[in-house]
Structure 1
Amino acid sequence: MNYPVISDALRLSRLAPPAGRVRAVLDTDTFNEIDDQFALVYALLSPDRIELEAIYAAPFWNDLSDGPKDGMEKSYDEIGRILNRLGCEEDNAVFRGSDSYLPGAVTPVDSPAARDLVQRALAAPDDEPLYVIAIGAITNIASAILLEPSIISKIVVVWLGGHQLTWRDTKEFNLAQDIHASRVMFDSGVPLVLVPCHGVASHLITTLPEIKHFVQDKGEIGAFLAERYEGCSSDHYGYSRVIWDLSAVAYLVDQALVPCDLVHSPVLTDQVTWSFDASRHLIRCARSVSRDGIFKDLFRKLEYAAESRLVQEKI
């Protein structure tokens, strides 16, 4: 596949931390785990930084689904449940994604989500890229690039995927589900902000007592998130859980929460490990996250949203 080549100057400008509010879409396998729900709520409660234009349901396949298509449909339904509890109108902004993973290295899976991304990216002004927050298998985004490769100059992908570049392997759920799609992210030259899981986002740990104290009584959405968290384990004694998907949203909320370095795009090997070539293009890669800063920001926004809702109901 011959991808369009973008200049180093344009790439570096795209990889610079954005100032102010950005246009964005969110690609999420929302029913796969409990962290996507938190991340979607975080994005929706951060309108001062993120103008969220569309939400895409991503495929997933594990014990909670019968296959990629079923996972995508369950994620689509979960997005609706979250929007309903936040009192948001869907307004034709939620799109079904791929019903399978890429069948080959250069073969896209057409879907409403991929088509919408192409349309929005092509309409983006040259000086205002569309940010793509991706917190699941990257199939929808890779498919959009394969359908219309020119969009790589119009978008910036912020993806929670793989493990830290020094990790012994990168057999992480989001990345490993669709190796073909993952390689598109690293090989196409699309401006990419990579947030690794183990070693970076894995610091975003919380517990049921913390969720009950800061989340549970924060309106319908707080109760929903707390219910999802409590249901993730039958035994919460001495138990904690990582909510890693918050990190990709946090990068756009405040880059100080997710400090990054410029590195050469890694090579994804057949053994699902990282290999390196200093002649490859640059990406931005997160080196750490501010665990406390991210959770404090989320908790404050949930509290503010609940208080605002109560005021509106009284008026």
Structure 2
Amino acid sequence: MEFPLISDEERIQRLKSRSGKIRMVLDTDTFNEIDDQFAVVYALQSPERLQVEAFYAAPFFNDLSSGPKDGMEKSYQELRKIVSLMARTDIPIYKGSETYLPGAETPVESEAARNLVERAMASTPEDPLYVVAIGAITNVASAILMEPRIIANIVVVWLGGHALHWSHTREFNLEQDIHGARVILNSGVPLVLIPCMGVASHLQTTLSEMKDFVKDAGEIGAYLYETFRQVHPDHYAYSRVIWDISTIAYLVNEKSTPSVLLASPIVSDEARWSQDPSRHLIRYVHYINRDLVFRDLFRKLRDDQTGK
């Protein structure tokens, strides 16, 4: 598979901070964990910065699903529930892939991938579409394989893998679809990579914070609180990572997510990183200011109820 060439100058320009409103789509395995729900809400509560154009349901397979297709279907229904609670049924939701990529050059057909191609082809390098992915990267990789020209018109922001200094990168989003991850890392698409362990793992919160700052924020606040409360039987001295809001935080306020430009890493079949400095550049988030991120999220939930 040959991908369009983007010059280093063009890629660096695309990976710079942008002023004004950002057009984005969110690709999410919403039923897999409790953090996806927070990311969906955070994005919708940030209209000063984000114009959410569509949601895509991503596949996942773990104890909460019988397979990737079932995981995607459950994520689709969870997205429908969240937008209904927030009275935001104006934003379309598309079903994604029912399987992971079967090979390095074989896309998986889905409504989500086709819609992404359509939206990306209608975008421009000057006004790119931000593709925020917080699950297995199958839908996004499939769209790139279906129409490689879209890499000129998009920026991918992906929560995937662990930090480059971690002993391995056997992280759920990445390991589910190694072929898809390699498409994203090798195609040259402008990419912001946010690792899980070592970076997004800073985003821990507690039931006490949920009670004080989330529970009373309307129907959606009550839903998020109950989701958090039910996820663990004993909340004494217990905190939980809300990984996925890292991607929204990057777009809303890059000061909360410091990053650097470095060569796109290589992922092995055993899910380990290696690095070749001659490869194209990506933006790599290496730290997250936990307090800034949660302060912004909690404020937006509160302000929505007070009318501020």
Same fold (TM over 0.5): yes
Measured in 2, the distance between the counterparts of 1:18 and 1:186 equals 22
Show the counterpart of 1:179.
178
Show the counterpart of 1:9.
9
**1:122-133 paired onto structure 2 within 5 Å:** 122-133=121-132
- SS of 1:26 mapped into structure 2: strand
- SS of 2:56 mapped into structure 1: strand
Checking the alignment, whether the CA contact within 8 Å between 2:207 and 2:235 is kept in structure 1 is yes
Show the counterpart of 2:47.
47
- SS of 1:158 mapped into structure 2: strand
Show the counterpart of 2:162.
163
Please give the per-residue CA displacement for 1:208-245, whole angstroms capped at 9, x wherever unaligned: 01101100011000000001101111111111100010
Checking the alignment, whether the CA contact within 8 Å between 2:125 and 2:154 is kept in structure 1 is no
Show the counterpart of 2:38.
38
- SS of 1:60 mapped into structure 2: coil
- 1:151 CA displacement: 0.4
- 1:11 CA displacement: 0.4
The root-mean-square deviation of aligned C-alpha atoms, in Å, is 0.9
Listed as ranges, the gaps of 5+ residues in structure 1 are none
Checking the alignment, whether the CA contact within 8 Å between 1:80 and 1:90 is kept in structure 2 is no
Amino acid at match of 1:81: K
Measured in 2, the distance between the counterparts of 1:19 and 1:264 equals 25
- 1:270 CA displacement: 1.6
Measured in 1, the distance between the counterparts of 2:44 and 2:84 equals 12
- 1:195 CA displacement: 0.3
Show the counterpart of 1:299.
298
Checking the alignment, whether the CA contact within 8 Å between 1:21 and 1:49 is kept in structure 2 is yes
Measured in 1, the distance between the counterparts of 2:27 and 2:2 equals 25
Measured in 2, the distance between the counterparts of 1:240 and 1:176 equals 25
**1:1-315 paired onto structure 2 within 5 Å:** 1-91=1-91, 93-308=92-307
Amino acid at match of 1:301: K
Checking the alignment, whether the CA contact within 8 Å between 2:96 and 2:112 is kept in structure 1 is yes
- SS of 1:73 mapped into structure 2: helix
- 1:253 CA displacement: 0.2
Checking the alignment, whether the CA contact within 8 Å between 1:133 and 1:158 is kept in structure 2 is yes
Measured in 2, the distance between the counterparts of 1:59 and 1:20 equals 32
- 1:296 CA displacement: 0.4
Please give the per-residue CA displacement for 1:44-65, whole angstroms capped at 9, x wherever unaligned: 0001111000000000000000
TM-score (norm 2): 0.99
Checking the alignment, whether the CA contact within 8 Å between 2:124 and 2:152 is kept in structure 1 is no
Amino acid at match of 1:210: E
Measured in 2, the distance between the counterparts of 1:298 and 1:46 equals 9
- SS of 1:10 mapped into structure 2: helix
Please give the per-residue CA displacement for 1:96-150, whole angstroms capped at 9, x wherever unaligned: 0000000111100010000000000000033110000100000000000000000
Measured in 1, the distance between the counterparts of 2:160 and 2:275 equals 17
- 1:19 CA displacement: 1.7
Measured in 1, the distance between the counterparts of 2:124 and 2:182 equals 27
Checking the alignment, whether the CA contact within 8 Å between 1:24 and 1:132 is kept in structure 2 is yes
Checking the alignment, whether the CA contact within 8 Å between 2:101 and 2:108 is kept in structure 1 is yes
Measured in 2, the distance between the counterparts of 1:184 and 1:136 equals 15
Amino acid at match of 1:82: I
Amino acid at match of 1:34: I
Give the 4+ runs in structure 1 shifted more than 6 A: none
Measured in 1, the distance between the counterparts of 2:208 and 2:253 equals 26
Measured in 2, the distance between the counterparts of 1:137 and 1:230 equals 26
- 1:184 CA displacement: 0.5
Checking the alignment, whether the CA contact within 8 Å between 1:161 and 1:175 is kept in structure 2 is yes
Measured in 1, the distance between the counterparts of 2:197 and 2:118 equals 34
Measured in 2, the distance between the counterparts of 1:299 and 1:271 equals 39
Amino acid at match of 2:87: G
- SS of 1:285 mapped into structure 2: strand
